[in-house]
Structure 1
């Protein structure tokens, strides 16, 4: 029931204002902010066409997912979550999204998770997406999420209510097993819904209070819309993302600059062809990894020992001085 979790590391050196925010807003739905990211499709269309000539096929979904993974890697403070009023840093970048097994109203859907380190290229991100989608489409495709949901919903309603309450309690007290966290689609860095795939518009989707989802992106279909370029109004194709995020661990400036980075990457997808050096990017406003914690504890113990030794030396010196003074007084007598 401590601060250690399988999916994240507790941040123990965050500033006081940020640290108190989860106590003021204990629920994720208390702290949701909405923003809209509009991006010209010219750069994406040009990039897809150029790569197609080279024998590589990328879609809008690949470009958007790669841009989001890159943004979370370059802006690591986004990759945080609040659990039981404590702020944690995710161990990796985990994306969840829903997959329709067959594109029909009455067909089943499922939710999948993909893990990233953050330095992946668009090619690596695309391959991971293709593999997980291929494994989870088709009438007979079932994964651990489907099996767990089926097993749980076969129980009476009162039992479902009790089990969900128990899981939530275990999660809040860092006792939820790693296997269940891995199965849960609600434990992730961000959740994305590809509304474009069903010809839908962007939307603002709430962040689930269960789990660790701290950002939800609703990707809509591109539209022909009036845009201003060089002081002139013309019709251009625009892609819109509806973003809902938890405000408790990042300030407004950090979020705004992160949205700008997403837009920059989507307008210049060529940057996603090369990997990045993760060592160049660090979180702001506190970060504590397990190794750092151990070193910190060891340093604190060493500092305490040094202070104790210094105090002992000072005490011995004071005793010797007092003894010498007593001797001098006796000699004078």
Structure 2
């Protein structure tokens, strides 16, 4: 039992002993990694987004739809919205997504990291609009985290190492202040990297030991892929997302089932979000058409 509660999560109780001991057997996230590649058909998503962008502003992108589908999956399957800290398992309070955007699309262009809270039941138009707004704001001015890091990096190296060690220690004992966690992109449910947009594909990404991010999704560039069908094989435009999971938060079977929700939305957004010309919103499995 921890001495102090956390500002961003609640202690998970009642888990099986085997799962409770995992954080002690595998102390770091990167020795607890499980990797999964998901390849999604995106022809329907392309058509849906084209119609959506004719009826809505600002323009939504395929990455917006991937991020929204991921947020829906995490909200629908809350066991995946967990993290390990101080050898204990916590249920996160709310879904949040972090991602990196380029300020300028050049080799030397600086990166900005954005953390976006995902309210339960939010429609896709509001979600997409908030992503666009946050990215524009981050490109126009430095965010609070960037300013804090820039200030810290003015200090001598040994002092920087001491501050980082202090932050890790406070976090381990649940004493890291909530106002420091709130906007820190390393304290989110999932980190998505749109690597395909900068010409990098087919990579798995590590998890960060600092913070509480338990899932990383590396989004590749769209390309043709071969799929098996009842009539043989077909070549279609596809999107690959390579996921990295912290095995300690949930078992592989549950993680795989959760990611199926991402596939459902990306491969048939009209079915699960509704007509693109309206106000698309996740209708839930129980509200949608019966499974075939």
Q: TM-score if structure 2 supplies the norm length?
A: 0.90
Aligned to 1:35: 36
Q: What are the equivalent positions in structure 2 for 1:312-327 lying under 5 Å apart? A: none
- For 1:200 and 1:36, locate their aligned partners in 2 and report how far apart those are by CA, in whole Å: 15
Per-residue deviation, residues 287-320 of structure 1 (Å, max 9, x unmatched) = xxxxxxxxxxxxxxxxxxxxxxxxxxxxxxxxxx
Q: Name the residue aligned to 1:239.
A: 239
Question: What is the rounded CA distance, in whole Å, between the counterparts of 2:110 and 2:27 in structure 1?
Answer: 34
- Give the secondary structure class of the aligned counterpart of 2:227: strand
CA-atom RMSD in angstroms: 1.9
Superimposed CA distance per residue, residues 187-208 of structure 1 (whole angstroms, 9 cap, x where no aligned partner): 1100010112213214211110
Tell me the residue number matched to 1:22: 23
Higher helix share: 1
Q: Supply the distance in 2 between the matched residues of 1:201 and 1:96 (Cα, whole angstroms).
A: 19
Query: 2 CA distance for matches of 1:32 and 1:55?
Result: 39
TM-superposed deviation, 1:269: 1.6
Which runs of at least 4 in structure 1 moved beyond 3 Å after TM superposition? Answer: 52-57
- Asked if structure 2 preserves the Cα contact closer than 8 Å seen for 1:195 and 1:202, the reply is no
Instruction: Please give the alpha-carbon distance, in whole angstroms, between the structure 1 residues aligned to 2:56 and 2:137.
Output: 24
Q: Does 1:12 align with 2:13?
A: yes
Residue 155 of structure 1: how far off its partner (Å): 0.5
What is the CA-CA distance between 1:53 and the residue it aligns to? Answer: 4.1
Give the TM-score, by structure 1 length.
0.79
CA–CA separation in structure 1 for the residues paired with 2:206 and 2:156: 27
Following TM superposition, by how much is the alpha carbon of 1:110 offset from its aligned partner in structure 2, in angstroms?
1.8
Change (3 A) 1:84 1:276: farther
Q: Indicate the residue corresponding to 2:168 in structure 1.
A: 168
Tell me the CA shift for residue 12 of structure 1. 2.0
Cα deviation 1:69-91 (Å, max 9, x = unaligned): 00001111000000011000111
- Look up the match of 2:88: 86
Q: Kindly report which structure 2 residues correspond to 1:175-254, keeping only aligned pairs within 5 A, or say none.
A: 175-254=175-254
Q: Do residues 156 (structure 1) and 156 (structure 2) align? A: yes
Which structure 1 segments of 5+ residues have no match? 281-333
251 and 3 in structure 1: CA distance in 2 versus 1, 3 angstrom threshold: farther
CA deviations on 1:194-236 (whole Å, 9 max, x unpaired) are 1122132142111101110000000011112333333323321
Mapped to 2, the partners of 1:2 and 1:267 lie a distance apart of 46
Which has more radius of gyration? 1
- Which stretches in structure 2 are left out of the alignment for 5+ residues? 274-279, 288-292
